[in-house]
Amino acid sequence: MPDRYPFSLPPLPYAYDALEPIISKENIYRHYNQYAQGYVDRLNQTLSEYPQFQDWSLKALVVYADSFPIGIRTQIHNYAGGLYNHILYFGSVSEKRNTYPSGALLRELNRTYGSFEKFQTAFKSCALSVAGSGNAWLTYNAACRLQIICTSNQDTPPLSILNPLLVVDLWEHAYYHTFYFDRETYLDNWMKVVDWDIVSARYSC
């Protein structure tokens, strides 16, 4: 995946129907090809007129979005953030079912939340508290401490101090074609397809 302009989506690491019946083929297809690709297209269009920023990495665009010229600040914030969030979202699930955290991540989940099941409850509670569109994240800091963070729209956690492990998309386009407006059922089902082997490997502590 290019980490500089022009950006592109990484290939989807599974077939469109790989998450069925938990998340429908139509839902994944539309989400990836229309919504996620839309952030790529709009980010590239914005940067096409500003060659001085075309060598910036996606993470740098997200972290320093508020320092951009006021004329493109909002666009960079939304489009770079939207692309970053979607890449992590699609890369955190797989055709596997009901995997379990392992190693250092499982130990830290148990230390922080008491058990994996209690973490799931806390994560879901945070996600359900988001009014409107947003994302729910599991992150860790330089001291390897875990933190659940919920953000609005295409905001991200402060990436200069937190490392995202996992994100769930709470925009209605992420689940409407499968669950309509039932966010809670979406979250319960999404947790079944989180690939904890991948997420555990991201926890470099």
Instruction: State yes or no: 177 annotated in a binding site.
Output: no
Between helices 70-90 and 37-47, what is the axis angle to 10°? 150
Structure tokens at 95: 């055709």
Sequence-separated contacts (24+) of 106-113 with Cβ below 8 Å? 106/200, 108/140, 108/144, 108/145, 108/146, 108/203, 108/205, 109/146, 112/145, 112/146, 113/146
Which value, to the nearest 10 degrees, does the dihedral of the CA atoms of residues 155, 182, 120, 17 take? -90
Instruction: State yes or no: 31 annotated in a binding site.
Output: yes
Annotated binding-site residue numbers? 31, 86, 169, 173
Annotated binding-site residue numbers for Mn(2+)? 31, 86, 169, 173
